[in-house]
Chain A
Amino acid sequence: MIVQRLAGRLGLSELAFVAIVAGLAVLVPLANLTMPEGSLLHVSNASVVLFGKWMCYALLALSLDLVWGYCGILSLGHGAFFALGGYAMGMYLMRTIGTRGVYGNALLPDFMVFLNWKELPFTWYFFDWFGYAALMVMLVPGILAFVLGWFAFRSRVTGVYLSIITQAVTYALQLAFFRNDMGFGGNNGLTDFKDILGFQVQAQSTRAALFALSALALLGGFAAAKAIVSSKLGLVLVAIRDAETRTRFIGYRVEHYKLFVFVVSAVMAGIAGALYVPQVGIINPSEFSPANSIEAVIWVAVGGRGTLVGAALGAVLVNAAKTWLTAALPTLWLFVLGALFILVTLFLPRGIVGTFGAKFLGRRGTK
């Protein structure tokens, strides 16, 4: 029923997006696991991990587009929600290592033994249980977004001030997570994971499954975001983006709407981070780096904000370019990224999908 209602609202670009991502979710694992190495159809192990990362970035971009593209909230701290989701997953992965760590301590992760800690900090309680960790993946970013949004939106902090606050939050978190006494592994972060839900993290089949899950999460995030933006609430979000005072004047409590979409978006970003960590095998404070959040904004700008599919496309394209360029000309990447942002802002203010694909978006796809 819901699926049907949603499908009826999709435009050509969106149907193509759904078909491609669903296709990849099936074909990439198949091509990796069943095709012989050396075959043209074989997808290498490294590529599976790389594509899996892109799926997570695409979900992060989608979540950012929901707040920025549709509600005008330019968050420069979305990387923080991604990293928090990642840490929650990392804590589960650490605790499942158990006695297989270097120090063989059944309860304490290696870095705690190394720091001479005797007891597990309460923040780590229950993280050996996957269900709890999965809940925290969503709850921790969601609560941070709620608290931050509660204060910021109520005091009507908007525009560049809000951007600066979000940027400051991710920076502060980075500094905090660097500290050993925070109990999250300091600057080394969490790593050396062994297995997830009983499957070996390093096993190729697990990686293929994680890729497929990431693609499905991207589809799920898209479905949720699309349902939101094509509801009446979605109309209110765009109304807030375009004429906030007027929206308030006809009786909508703008701060509640902003808070809602900010929290939903943070939860999506957290899920993206949680799927990312087992694939790359590490989470450390650099994930909180302000530059990461800014990069995510560039993905969305390149793909086209306020289009959802554009945000996902932008994330994949920019990261593909990054992978290629950092191999070919490593020192150039930051300049290219900066130039890309300037060029897009000047010549393609609506991004790739906003400019070329607007006709093919479903209802209320873009401006």
Chain B
Amino acid sequence: MNAGRTTDALLYLDGVSVSFDGFKALNQLALLIAPGEMRAIVGPNGAGKTTMMDVITGKTRPDTGDVLFDGGRHDLTRLDEATIAELGIGRKFQKPTVFESHTVEDNLRLALKAPRSVFPTLAARRTAEEKARLDELFATVKLDAQRRTQAGGLSHGQKQWLEIGMLLAQDPALLLVDEPVAGMTDAETFETAELLKRINRTHSVVVVEHDMAFVRELGVKVTVLHEGSVLAEGTIDQVSADQRVVEVYLGR
């Protein structure tokens, strides 16, 4: 519990600084994500986007600042990674790792919210409820045709979607997605934007991405990070008209 601070935000960051050997990866970062929102975070390489994710998920402790979740109910700077994951913050890393020798469906089954201990898992049966959850997930990630395919045989893009599906299977309140379209074809990039929009109907999402066409496709509020703090915030048209943003991106 934090000391009496109130906020309506699902995720609340204020005055967050992280330094590595004197180098400020995050510098007085402030960010508010409303419940149900999808937010795109952009910024040049080294802007601190991944470090921000690390702070939210408990992988990195900030030197200063507040990181609050769920209307200020949880102080994330005091919790470990497993607890934060259990609170309902799911994270997708840049590099996809799926269980290659399992089918797509079995990958999702393993990720579904269910008891995780040995004997319940040994005794677990396929239930109608589980099937309904899986059908729902397949409808979202659009991998129905690959249901019985071994995940190792999926394309790069499909693996990313499967991984997003596995994240979704755990039904988190907030999804953090780091560079989902890196290495994807244009068609896959478009599909991924559609996927995130579908997910956003029922979940809050923070997506970090370089690809401006993709961010435009998402059509959501954009936050531009630069040298560890917020440089600009607004619609994609607003931020791309911002002179400082243009300099940061073109001046590299």
Contact = CB atoms under 8 A, between A and B. Distances in A.
Contacts, number: 58
Nearest to B151: A242
Given A238-B99, A238-B101, A243-B99, A250 B122 contact: no
Chain A contact surface mostly = helix
Interface stretch (A160-168, A189-197, A251-259): A251-259
Contacts of B106: 235
A233 B101 CA distance: 15
B121 A236 contact: yes
Contacts of B124: 231-233
Interface stretch (B20-28, B110-118, B231-239): B110-118
Contacts of A260: 118, 122
B71 to A, nearest CB: 25
Contacts of A239: 99, 102, 110
Q: How large is the interface on A (under 10, 10 to 19, 20 to 34, 35 or more residues)?
A: 20 to 34
Given A232-B124, A243-B97, A250-B166, A238 B102 contact: yes
A145 to B, nearest CB: 15
B193 interface: no
B105 to A, nearest CB: 10
A233 B118 CA distance: 7
B170 interface: yes
Interface residues of B, number: 21
Contacts of A236: 110, 121
B29 to A, nearest CB: 26
Nearest to A228: B122
Contacts of A359: none
29 contacts: A228-B122, A231-B123, A231-B124, A232-B109, A232-B122, A232-B124, A233-B122, A233-B124, A235-B109, A235-B110, A238-B102, A239-B99, A239-B110, A242-B100, A243-B100, A246-B97, A246-B99, A250-B110, A250-B111, A250-B166, A251-B85, A251-B116, A252-B110, A252-B116, A252-B121, A253-B116, A253-B117, A256-B117, A256-B118
Given A239-B110, A246-B99, 7 more contacts: A231-B123, A233-B118, A242-B100, A250-B170, A252-B121, A257-B118, A260-B118
